[in-house]
Chains A and B, each alone.
Chain A
């Protein structure tokens, strides 16, 4: 039996950059002065009724906008599955509800922020908006939250009953949570700028937020961006085993290191976490064009969805913008791209895409 192929036929990306009304990062701005990158807020009222906007959490609004863009891009009205990934969910509403509980000794509470706080709010609200009663799932596992969703989406397409899937990664920043992350050094210390992601010598990351959605179909269309060849996740891996694992992953897709035309790595500027990419950059993929992206998006659990957006755009445009190059190599054609992301050696995601 021939396994059905999975094509990316539409994109929608809300991030700290202008990523939905531009070609490909030509207006990107590098901000190395802040420890938290806020996203470029889209004009919500172009996508969501004003009454609803007021009630909705930030992540929900961004998720709705990004998913709407992806569907429009793919010329789809609805889908056979909605699958989302989010690390922290609607953290602002969680903060709001928890603070209200603690500050008022569990009294005088209203349910609104509790209702909005569940991790699956974005997936549920998209379904509600589209009146889509299909398969709906939300994954919440740190830096493989999005890859888990993508893996499920690909499995759905390969199973019998699904021809289209909306898959996305969403995370939002919340002030109190950010202050906690600063307290334990997840986020870099203030007044230490410039915060460069490559060749960083300090712990911690520049944090971010975003929503990136992809419309997947089992059919290649004229406007198809790329094909998803494979997705794999792994909870734990030692630094010295990364290369071996990647070779095995490529091999299971009948590919070798030399077949990879560009590698997109999840550098986040944390000196220890980034050790995982060092050997890949210096040796395994020394002759391969290398790409990084979290200097533009910031780090968050589903930043790799922004990374996939970058990879897909490279295939579509057949060029790598200067601003995301981490070495100076180029290729005449970008057919196969490997994406690898992890955080602190936990939750590794491998994604392979190709030109279709």
Chain B
């Protein structure tokens, strides 16, 4: 097996907790974050439920101790909070001591402020400062500033697989020696733009999302940010760092089927997983837990399930679950928060439950793990798929 790249820190803020610890407690105690929306005024309030972080923008400003003149979008604030936690968790005190980078991910950048002030910009000069916050790159630049980081900073946007690609790029940058250390992850705040976008596609559930259930009706959107710190083995050795787990495999493929729908046989998903196994030099039977993309849309779960059956074999599929019933689908941040969950699964030897499941899908014999399960977890596979046919798979492994 490939040794993989060391993960030495993580940070997260989601609807089930403001820290890694809080998220873990929620996952262990079936404490879900899906509620009625409060921070955004929308006509859909009564018909949708979301994974919302119950902090107002002002509270986030206070948490970060930003000046009143700041022009942070909510997405940037969530990202800065999670990234700071990750850096602290990794015990980094001098951020530019090594060649350090930041690879962030977002779907719609600063849209949460853009949609709030779109027309007001011309009437209220106080709002103008947010115009430049729309650009997706503004978020990574702001996070880098908050961290005091000067180095390689970039942003990936491949819709709902974005953060998986950020983690993959980070691992490649460490492996190639281009960077010694890199902070990787993603952030997305809820916005009217995405709520209405998914609503028009008719893939929002009117209740609680039920991944891999025969009667699933769609997804709940969520908001979150999570970042991991990846470091080279040289730093790990030199500084005697604690390694939480390793990124051992990654794969990216395109479904090349439809802009917003997945192919029936999950070609892209299959190829992404296959590549991840090649990189990790692992075999499917070595995987102890799959954190599936599992959005609970009819299309995703069928396509992903078919790809899993093709790759693992219908009766040889390891324990799997979607954690989206806890957090909602957090779009560009999803793969990052699920990376944190995957590492937690490895650290604590648990499989988190796939909540809300009652009826097996008729298309195949796949039943998710519905209760918390304690088992030895050496390797976790995590899938993330997005619009544009983007399919990405990550494999996380226990550090020997």
Please give the residue numbers on chain A whose beta carbons come within 8 Å of chain B beta carbons, in ascending order.
Answer: 82, 87-89, 94, 97-99, 101-102, 105-107, 109-111, 114-121, 123-125, 127-128, 130-142, 144-145, 148, 152, 155, 158-159, 176, 180-181, 183-184, 186, 232-237, 301, 346-347
Contacts and interface: CB of A to CB of B under 8 A. Distances in A.
B172 A347 contact: no
B107 A118 contact: yes
Contacts of B132: 184, 186
A140 B389 CA distance: 18
Given A101-B196, A110-B200, A114-B200, A140 B260 contact: no
B387 interface: yes
B264 interface: no
Given A99-B118, A128-B256, A139-B157, 4 more contacts: A106-B192, A115-B387, A145-B154, A183-B128
Contacts of A88: 134-135
Closest 6 CB pairs of A and B: A124-B388, A142-B137, A141-B137, A235-B153, A114-B197, A119-B157
A111 B261 CA distance: 13
Given A134-B253, A148-B154, A142 B141 contact: yes
B158 A233 contact: no
A136 B252 contact: yes
B159 A120 contact: yes
A124 B389 contact: yes
B157 A109 contact: no
B101 to A, nearest CB: 9
Interface in B240-268: 252-260, 267-268
B169 interface: yes
Contact of A133 (B131, B192, B193, B256): B256
A109 B138 contact: no
A335 B252 CA distance: 36
A139 B155 contact: yes
B113 to A, nearest CB: 12
Contacts of A98: 111, 114-115, 118, 193
Contact of A132 (B42, B44, B199, B256): B256
Interface size class of B (residues with CB under 8 A): 35 or more
A116 B388 CA distance: 9
A139 B154 contact: yes
A148 B157 CA distance: 12
B298 to A, nearest CB: 16
Given A132-B256, A152-B169, A183-B131, A118 B159 contact: yes
A114 B153 CA distance: 28
A121 B107 CA distance: 12
A127 B254 contact: yes
B197 A111 contact: yes
Interface stretch (B1-9, B143-151, B219-227): B143-151
A105 B43 contact: yes
A233 B193 contact: no
Interface in B92-148: 102, 106-109, 111, 114-115, 118-119, 121-122, 128, 131-132, 134-138, 140-141, 144-145
B254 A82 contact: yes
A34 B78 CA distance: 40
B96 to A, nearest CB: 11
Contact of A120 (B138, B157, B256, B257): B157
Contacts of A136: 158, 252-254, 388-390
A128 B267 CA distance: 13
Interface SS of B by simple majority: mixed
Contacts of B387: 115, 118, 120-121, 124
B79 interface: no
B11 interface: no
Contacts of B118: 98-99, 102, 176
B152 interface: yes
A155 B257 CA distance: 27
Contacts of B111: 94, 98
A119 B253 CA distance: 17
B152 A233 contact: yes
11 contacts: A106-B43, A114-B197, A120-B159, A136-B389, A138-B158, A155-B173, A158-B176, A186-B132, A235-B141, A235-B144, A237-B150
Contact of B196 (A82, A114, A148, A186): A114
A144 B390 CA distance: 22
B108 to A, nearest CB: 8
Contacts of A99: 118
B200 A111 contact: yes
A284 B171 CA distance: 36
B287 interface: no
Contacts of B155: 139-141, 148
A269 B271 CA distance: 46
A252 to B, nearest CB: 11
B128 A233 contact: no
Max chain A CB contacts within 10 Å: which of B121, B154, B173?
B154
B391 to A, nearest CB: 9
B307 to A, nearest CB: 13
A322 B150 CA distance: 37
B342 interface: no
Nearest to B43: A106
A117 B260 CA distance: 11
